[in-house]
Structure 1
Amino acid sequence: MSALTFLGYLNLSENNLTGKIPSSTQLQSFDISSYDGNHLCGPPLLEICSTDATTSGDHNNNESNEGDGLEVDWLWFYASMAFGFVVGFWVVMGPLLFNKSWRFRYFRILERLEYKIRNGHH
């Protein structure tokens, strides 16, 4: 979330968030009231993070889980996109590969289309 650069307004108040606010120009530019009702520290808040808070096991686990969730979402997106391509490809090519009459008819249609395009017939 710290890599976002297009937000004009963000209100994270009352979400029970804990830990250090990631350092970035975008998150530091929001008003302090955007972070009310949480247990956050670091700029733009006045509460300074202690070294224990930034290296605690709970905070590191929460931070790594957020990153893993985003990576898992993208992994599912790419996996479903690949699956959709394979299914779509075989829905079209399967019948052409296994049905000889469909294959001949398909290529005849392509040849007629090519002829019309080359000779300018409508």
Structure 2
Amino acid sequence: MYHLTALVTLLAILVYFYSSILVSRARGTFGVKLPAISGNPDFERVFRAQMNTLEWLPIFLPSLWLFAIYISDGIAAAIGLVWVAGRILYVLGYARAVKDRSLGFAIQALATIALWVGAFGAIVWRLVQG
């Protein structure tokens, strides 16, 4: 069973949901009416943080699950928690200032790379071993 990876998956989705709430709040705060997605730089940073999170989910989630299946549920979940923490730092940092997004982005990117490389390596290893 993959209970730990499932919990991290739900946390990752919660982070995305939270970023959506921040966008909704920013619309009101900065007066950006639907369907607009530009016009106020403060709003645009919040919106881009949400969109970037959405862009990374299809890279992160399959890598997380393949790592869990082929290597370890516990290790996948631990690395996944690093991704969640990085994403939180990214979303909150980007909302403050463009320069404040870098640390969170680097953390989540490295976590994703570790999951992808680990999963890829384990799959190739199993294929080679027969």
Same fold (TM over 0.5): no
Rg larger in structure: 1
If each structure's strand is expressed as a fraction of its own residues, which one has the higher value?
Answer: 1
If each structure's helix is expressed as a fraction of its own residues, which one has the higher value?
Answer: 2
TM-score by length of structure 1 reads: 0.32
TM-score by length of structure 2 reads: 0.30
Higher relative contact order (CA 8 A, sep 6+): 2
